[in-house]
Amino acid sequence: MDTRTLIETARALVAGDRGLLAMDESTPTANKRFAPLGIPQTPEARRAYRDMIVTTPRLGECISGAILYDETLRQQTNEGLPFAQARIVPGIKVDAGAKPLALHPGEEVTEGLDGLRGRLDEYRGLGARFAKWRAVIRIGETIPTRACIAANAHALARYAALSQEAGLVPIVEPEVLMDGDHPLERCATVTEAVLHAVFDALDAQGVLLEGMLLKPNMVVPGLEASDQSGTDAIADATLRRQVPAAVPGIAFLSGGQSAKLASARLNAMNARNRDRLPWALAFSFARAIQQPALDAWRGVAENVPQAQQALFHRADCNRAARRGEYDAATDAPRRA
Ligand code: 13P
């Protein structure tokens, strides 16, 4: 394991005020996002969409790394460059998706460990510098169960160890979903239990905490909860003491929050805790950066400049949120 490179890469991904762009939707997920906009569900349409994203002018000012999907890593930009060489440090989603957990109706465990060592070697050869694995935890009356948390924590830790062995920085993503009508406190309790289990498993597998990043959910009330809580309450509930200080950065997922709320909440976390936290608080959003751009693009080449403007705007707002300088009232970086 090349410890120094892992540590340097992990730090670089969350350095300054930049963050990650998760553009690694699997083919079914990308198709699901395309369908309502009437965009063809083809490899070429997905390639053109990803080309629009990575060629956005000045995107590199806000985005340190982009998480790609297997299909994209093997495709080329309009200019004929492999996506892995398209300006932004490339990462790769390596899990094979969440599958039903045996004997536990309503719960899932993420698969993809079989043969992972070989795939990681190949991805590294194709240019990837970091990897991502997403576990999904659903909240319900009697779930998550211990079985679900333990199975997902174990898989995340095995993936993280294999990634570091291959020289790739693991982005460890345990996502507690927003679906449901539970209050903020319930999401906090579940997130706490999940993070404890994940860091226990990472420790058991010998994962180098300095050479990884955590990609968790923000602690929010269920989407159908009657009390949706204020931005500051969410920011305070999200900062979990369960994350060891050795982890260089926490890059939050957006999880279906609106783009503006995701920026406002990240901003509140940074603004309220300036210089008081051991980790960088960054972003690794998919929907909260891309959705406005996708809505503007709609698969039409003439819409590319407008879509790129929308994409840059969201990336720039989140960059400002890292500094605690996002203004929710105007949905723009605060100008001095
Ligand atoms: P969202 O920001 O849309 O939740 O996506 C993040 C991600 O990478 C999901 O795996």
Instruction: DSSP letter for 109, please.
Output: E
Quickly tell me which residue has 């490339």 as its tokens: 90
Residue 253, ligand 1, Cβ within 6 A: yes
Q: How far apart are CA 199 and CA 191, in angstroms?
A: 12
Residue 134, ligand 1, Cβ within 6 A: yes
Give the three-class secondary structure for 220.
coil
Whole-number Å distance, alpha carbon 252 to ligand 1 midpoint, is 9
CB under 8 A, 24+ apart: contacts of 28-36: 30/69, 33/291, 33/294, 34/299
Residue 68, ligand 1, Cβ within 6 A: no
* Residue 86 confidence (pLDDT): 82
Q: Which residues contact 285 (CB under 8 A, 6 or more apart)?
A: 19, 20, 21, 22, 252, 253, 254, 262, 314, 318
* CB neighbourhood size of 62 (10 A): 25
Q: Is the peptide bond before 82 cis (omega within 30 degrees of 0)?
A: no
In this structure, the residue with its CA closest to atom 10 of ligand 1 is 134
What is the pTM assigned to this prediction?
A: 0.97
Q: How far is CA 333 from CA 74, 207, 254, in A?
A: 35, 37, 19
* Residue 336 confidence (pLDDT): 66
Q: Which residues contact 165 (CB under 8 A, 6 or more apart)?
A: 1, 117, 120
| Alpha-helical regions (H) of the chain | 3-13, 27-34, 43-54, 70-73, 116-125, 146-165, 184-204, 231-238, 259-271, 287-297, 304-323
* CB neighbourhood size of 115 (10 A): 9
* Residue ranges, the chain, pLDDT below 50: none
Q: Tell me which residue of 322, 248, 330, 292 sits closest to 10, measured CA to CA.
A: 248
* Residue 241 confidence (pLDDT): 77
* Ligand 1 atom nearest residue 289's Cα: 2
Q: How far apart are CA 199 and CA 203, in angstroms?
A: 6
Q: Kindly list the catalytic residues.
A: 173, 215
Tens of pLDDT, residue by residue over 278-334, are 999 999 999 999 999 999 999 999 999 999 999 999 999 999 999 999 999 999 999
* Residue 242 confidence (pLDDT): 86
* Residue 87 confidence (pLDDT): 78
